[in-house]
Amino acid sequence: MSTQAQTPLPQVGKLVSVVPVGLKEAALDSPTFRATTLHFSDQIDFIEKWLDGYAKAATRLSCELTALESVVSNFLSYSTHPLVVSEAVVDHDYTLLAMRRCGEGSKDLWSGLITTTRKLESLISEPIRDFIQEDLRHFKEIRRNLEATQKSYDYLQARYASQSKSKEASALREEAFQLHEAHKAYLKAAMDYSVQGPQVRNALDRLLVKVSCDQWREFRGFHNHNSGTFSKWSREMDRIKGWLHEMEGSEKSSKRELLSTRKHIEEAAEFAARPSRELEDYNISTVPYLGSRPISNLNVSKEMRPEKQGWLYLRTLSGKPARTVWVKRWAFLKHGIFGCLVQGSRTGGVEESERIGVLLCSIRPAFQEERRFCFQVKTKNNTIMLQADNQKELMEWIGAFEAAKQKALENPASTDLSVSGKVTVQDPAFSISQPPASEFAADPADSLTPYKRRAWSGRAQYDTSCSGP
């Protein structure tokens, strides 16, 4: 049977690298990045325990081989040396020949098995220990640094956001740069994690493929007369081994691209988040709150986009007696709807709050709030109080809402949402709805607005009826 050389598929266009996506998510510090790092870290912990158990099992089997060898030798002394008896008892031409052939086969089988088992320490245990002590230890140090800097950054950001507008400008500037240094450290740690993660994954793939292929090579020698398993799977193993060679060949160029992209994104993210050094920018009198003109008069058609996403602080009530608490939420404005994403407390994944149509919302700066850069999103039944990081973000959020309203009125079809070709919500810009996938819906406690629970067909439903402002 002749084998034909495989013709490579033609390459159409330019290959797209997906590596910078993770770096961009790290630069944004998005919920996707935080959920991904948590998931990846949990998986690494799981694979580390599995690798440690695998290496210990291989070492134990290799160490206990001595006791097995004596048992095998005793067995082979019987199977390879049949009784020397006359033909009066057994037939020499058939019976003794069958026993001799079986004995030779047993000797080859057990000798090959013992020889292969002796190599388990070098084939399995040593490479795994090297990977755990080098690659995984370095990754875990990076992960610990990420966790520490993330905790410090979140704490300083919450403290800075809670500062009063009446605080001294010099003190505000000092705290702003203290927060910026924490942000730089966290950004660097996030980038280190995003760069090291793919490298650990490649190293793990390389380790497991090498361990598997090295064992397969020994099995192939051991089963050189066995045409079943080897003939069935050898081509597949050769293909996987070839993939490993290709990966090793392209790893250097991929790493260079990764480090170059990381530097560019990190510098851009740090520059965008850098606070001002001018004291005037922290004085109350110099902060333009748009109080002199209506928000609707903004030239949103050219200056602002109808879509935006980013971190905001949401004012909520908690405890008994109720007290005001500001919680961090990743808010989004897209396709004429406003909502937020949270990291689920049960699953650790990204979950979505209810969706509020922009045509139900009235947007205005919150002059009365003690905190800076606050604005409110008001519907008929609810008022959502939000806080941006700075004046620029405040202006962009207000402008984005106005632009989204204008677009929804001028082109209602632009807000239509569909899943699998079916429209999920009619006129979403003028309604309040739940996410289309219930498994990704956030807990009601994490919603943007208060809710009323009612029983319906044995399931909890939420009354989100609301009309325009």
What domains can be seen in the chain, in order of their start residue? 19-273 (1.20.1270), 300-462 (2.30.29.30)
Convert the pLDDT of each residue in 196-234 to its tens digit.
999 999 999 999 999 999 988 888 887 776 555 666 667
Write out pLDDT tens, residues 392-401.
899 999 999 9
pLDDT reported for residue 12: 41
> Stretch 40-50: mean pLDDT, rounded?
95
436, 416 Cβ separation under 8 angstroms: no
Q: Please, how many CA atoms are within 13 Å of residue 255, restricted to the half-sphere of its CB?
A: 14
Answer whether 189's CB lies under 8 Å from 146's CB. Answer: yes
DSSP annotation string for 197-246: HHHHHHHHHHHHHHHHHHHHHHHHHHTTT--SHHHHHHHHHHHHHHHHHH
Query: What are the tens digits of pLDDT across the range 232-286?
Result: 667 777 877 887 788 788 888 888 999 999 999 999 999 988 888 888 777 765 5
Q: Is the pLDDT of residue 460 over 80?
A: no
Residue 147 reports pLDDT greater than 90:
yes
pLDDT at 227 (0 to 100): 56
Residue 465 pLDDT level (bands cut at 50, 70, 90): very low
For residue 67, what pLDDT is reported? 82
Q: Give the predicted TM-score (pTM) of the model.
A: 0.75
Q: Tell me the per-residue pLDDT of 409-452, one tens digit each, with 9 for 90 and over.
A: 988 877 766 555 555 566 788 888 888 877 788 887 788 875 44
Q: What is the pLDDT of residue 314?
A: 94
Q: Average pLDDT for residues 169-197, to the nearest whole number?
A: 93
Q: What is the mean pLDDT of the chain?
A: 81
Element (H, E) at 39: helix 31-63
Note whether 167 and 370 are within 8 A (CB). Answer: no
- pLDDT confidence bin for 181, thresholds 50/70/90: very high
